[in-house]
Amino acid sequence: MVALITGASSGIGYSTALAFSKAGVKVAIGARRTDKLKKLENEIHQSGGEVLSQKLDVTQKSESISFVKTIIKKWETIDVLINNAGVAPLSFLNHLKIDEWDQMIDVNIKGVLYCTAAVLPYMIEKKSGHIVNLSSVAGRIVFPSGSVYCATKHAIVAFSEGLRKELSPKFNIKVTCIEPGVVATGLINTISDESLKRFVENTKKLNSLKPEDVAKVILFAVEAPSHMNVNELMVRPTTQEV
């Protein structure tokens, strides 16, 4: 089995690459930060796994296509796509951080679309595959300061269901949407809105999920029997209220 994991340089992507490699999966890892990718690549090699790494900015359609072609050339297949890359610079709308809105739309929505489009022809041709999209609890619940971020994650929930209806019955391609609650990653450090400083500090104090917790959930969905498609999984820290 070959899995392509985006946003693999840290957090959920990093942990998922390790979990899949330990399960015997060949992993293709992509992210913008090549130094972090190299560290992950070395870690996988040292544990005896097979890995291919390449710089990947999911907002660039050409880079997504290029990476997929490199994987096909090396391993002749892509069985699993994990659309993990995402950003979350939360802010209140009246602060008009429009560049950050654009960034969330480009990474969280367009990045998923571009990577999905790059792998689809190969999965359709062989009539098998599994696409895993990382949404969030924010894909179901909207909160102040999260309006744009929540909108991007709601979009992923809708896109995942549309993919399932179009691809699963006709082409035997599974689709899973993962919706984690608060996870201890560096994502929250991208928030630049000063009025959210206390929110950031309080969030860091939560007994959050660990990236490896979410990695186990993703692996569970992918390892499901061939006749079963785990369509949607929401996981929260036990103490998270919202």
The DSSP letter of residue 91 is: -
Respond yes or no: is residue 14 known to be catalytic.
no
Spell out the residues 6+ positions from residue 20 whose beta carbon is closer than 8 angstroms to its own.
3, 5, 27, 80, 215, 219, 222
Backbone torsions φ then ψ of 233, nearest 5 degrees: -140, 125
The Cβ-side half-sphere exposure at 161, using a 13 Å CA radius, reads 8
Burial profile 120-135: b = 16 or more Cβ within 10 angstroms, e = fewer: bebbeeeeebbbbbbb
Measured over the CA atoms of residue 75, residue 130, residue 29 and residue 111, the dihedral's sign is positive
Element (H, E) at 205: none
Longest Cα pair distance anywhere in the chain, in angstroms? Answer: 51
Burial profile 180-218: b = 16 or more Cβ within 10 angstroms, e = fewer: bbbbbbebbeebebeebeebeeeeeeeebbebebbbebb
Backbone torsions φ then ψ of 180, nearest 5 degrees: -80, 155
Q: Which residues are catalytic?
A: 149
